[in-house]
Amino acid sequence: MSTFIHIRRDLHKIPEIGYQEFKTQKYLLNYIKSLTQDRIEIKTWKTGIFVKVNGTAPKKMIGYRADIDGLPITEQSGVPFPSEHPGYMHACGHDLHMSIALGILTNVVEQPIEDDVLMIFQPAEEGPGGAEQMLASAIMKEWMPNVIIGLHIAPEYKVGEVATKPGLLFANTTEIHIELKGKGGHAAYPHHTRDMIVAGASLITQLQTIVARNVDPLDSAVVTIGKLEAGTVGNIIAETAKLDGTMRTLNPEAMVELRRRVTAIVTGIEHAFECEASLDFGQPYYQVYNDEKLTNTFMKYVEQYPDVQLIHCRESMTGEDFGYFLKDIPGFMFWLGVESEYGLHHAKLNPDEESINVAIDLISSFLRSKHYEKTE
């Protein structure tokens, strides 16, 4: 088994959610410190890490970002190296993202390239978001790359397939957090209560009208409530309900309308069900917009690269706070095929680990080729 598959398995066992990635950071630092240190500078930022590899004759700095957090999902993948943190899992492939980043780092440490390379191990991609804060850090004021690259695993593509497109790749996102407070009581006396299960159910149904009735049919949008918490037992009327969700749009203006409609509907629920409601939109994620010229250059590079198949994909409604890096720095993100029957955020996600070496070789070779300097 290759070193980086072994590392992926170690990291898979210790998934931690945003800004709690303490064991993960320790593991990554142990590995990074085991490399030849002559050219390396390491700085930690919260639970994240920056590693600068000094080039032999640097004119530019090339950034590569990997996210490091896991998700609150109980693993059911059946792999022989399951999560050792009950209730948590690397169900979005960040264990692969990290092992790939360590592979690329090792490659440029062992055979330095001319330019500097900045490896960014970023916490909290799944929430509350680490990219915007890392970008604002004093470290990135000093170490600001000229180009930035990132990838995301794609269960729907085969190993050896790489998919991307110039321009918009991922959606704008905004979280939804709603708390409803009514009046609990006996199930037999509903008229003495304000039932928040009924209010919550009505709220969800009304929220589902937004995409159908408030968004231009030529735009794309998603409103999902992924979590609903209410009630205790069958014969007690629920005093409170909590709903968490997320909204996605390909067009930033459509998000303004989605927020306006969610606010109006929540206010309507307050009046209709005589309850109190609070609404919080959390941390929004800026769309992932690939630099057109750099992405075209990368796509041409992939087309001539042996054993890798380029797929011209469409935009998708996933969100990624890598979008903040791309807002400030020219660069691109791409999908890496990992062929899993179950998709991202599924308890049975089981990416094919052969994809790890495909990505390490492709990105290391792209860096070495200096094609990032070409803007075709």
Ligand X SMILES: CC(=O)N[C@@H](CCC[C@H](N)C(=O)O)C(=O)O
Report the alpha-carbon angle 141-136-174, nearest 5.
150
CA dist 66 and 121 (Å) reads: 5
Distances (CA, A) of 310 to 64, 159, 299: 20, 11, 7
For the chain, list the strands marked E by DSSP: 40-45, 48-53, 61-67, 116-122, 147-154, 161-164, 167-170, 172-181, 185-186, 221-230, 236-237, 240-249, 276-280, 288-290, 309-312, 331-337
Give the bridge partners for 167, in sequence order. Answer: 290
| CB-nearest residue to ligand X | 246
Q: Which residue lies nearer to ligand X by CB, 152 or 165?
A: 152
CB of 154 to ligand X, least distance (A): 10
Q: Which residue number, 122 or 364, has a Cβ lying nearer to ligand X?
A: 122
Q: Which residues bind ligand X (CB under 6 A)?
A: 92, 126-127, 152, 173, 175, 246, 285, 318-320, 344
Q: Residue 283: what residue type?
A: Q
Measure the CA–CA gap between 82 and 70, rounded to whole angstroms: 13
Residue 156: partners with Cβ closer than 8 Å, 6 or more residues away: 337, 343
Q: What are phi and psi of 175, to 5 degrees?
A: -80, 160
Locate 231 and state its tokens. 């009630």
161 annotated binding-site participant: no
| Residue 182 to residue 306: CA distance in whole angstroms | 62
Q: How far is the CB of 99 from ligand X (least distance, A)?
A: 17
Distance in Å, CB of 140 to ligand X, minimum: 21
Q: In this complex, which beta carbon is closest to ligand X, that of residue 66 or of residue 117?
A: 66
Q: Vertex 250, ends 247 and 253: CA angle to 5°?
A: 85
Catalytic residue IDs: 67, 126
152 labeled binding residue: yes
Closer residue to ligand X, CB minimum distance, 32 or 258: 258
Identify which of residues 164 and 246 has a Cβ nearer to ligand X in the complex. 246
Q: How far is the CB of 320 from ligand X (least distance, A)?
A: 5
- Looking at residue 194, its amino acid is R
Tokens of 25: 């950071």
Strands 309-312 and 236-237: unpaired
Residue closer to ligand X, measured from CB, 101 or 367? 101
In DSSP terms, which residues pair with 185 in a beta bridge? Answer: 237
Q: How far is the CB of 36 from ligand X (least distance, A)?
A: 33
Flag whether 6 is marked binding: no
Would you say the C-alpha torsion 137, 143, 149, 150 has a positive or negative sign?
negative
Q: How far is the CB of 10 from ligand X (least distance, A)?
A: 22
Determine if residue 94 is labeled as part of a ligand binding site.
Answer: yes
Look up tokens 């969800």; give the residue.
204
**Annotated binding residue 177:** no
Question: Binding site, residues?
Answer: 92, 94, 126, 152, 345
Please give the annotated binding residues for Mn(2+), written as ranges: 92, 94, 126, 152, 345
